Amino acid sequence: MNAPRRERRKADPALSDPERLYVITGELDGDGRASLDLVTMVVAQAEPTPTCQPEQAAILRICRAPLSVAEISAYLSLPFSVVTSLLTDLLATELIESRAPLVRATLPDRSLLEAVMHGLQKL
């Protein structure tokens, strides 16, 4: 008896269609785009409106909790440039809010920690 073969999922041809991606992004040039990078955090400020594009409505639904632009791009299976264009439109209409990711606090100087430890030991 032969084991069943696994078949690789085929990519949806509609997702990689350049014409579809152009229609989604419109005629926005590089100057009008918001300065977003892969780690910029995005959170929805409102529910999708009936006039939103389906991709924008999907962004608003998945961004109820903060997500990075890279995560949004991965969840929607859209290129980063397309996602930034969609996010720029949503930022302009104030349906989303973006911010730089929180940077982990830097560790205090080792000598300071040692001085505190020695001071506590002397007590």
pLDDT in tens, 27-37: 655 556 668 88
- Tally of residues, the chain: 123
Residue whose token pair is 């040692």: 114
Tally of CB atoms within 10 A around 59? 26
Distance CA 19, CA 86 (A): 16
Both structure tokens of 97 = 């809010």
* pLDDT at residue number 100: 83
Output Rg (C-alpha) for the chain, integer angstroms.
22
Strand pairing partners for 97? 43
Question: Which has the higher per-residue pLDDT, 2 or 80?
Answer: 80
User: What's the Cα-to-Cα distance from 56 to each of 49, 51, 60, rounded to whole Å?
Assistant: 9, 10, 6
Over residues 13-68, the pLDDT tens digits come to 555 566 777 777 776 555 566 688 898 999 999 998 888 888 999 999 999 999 99
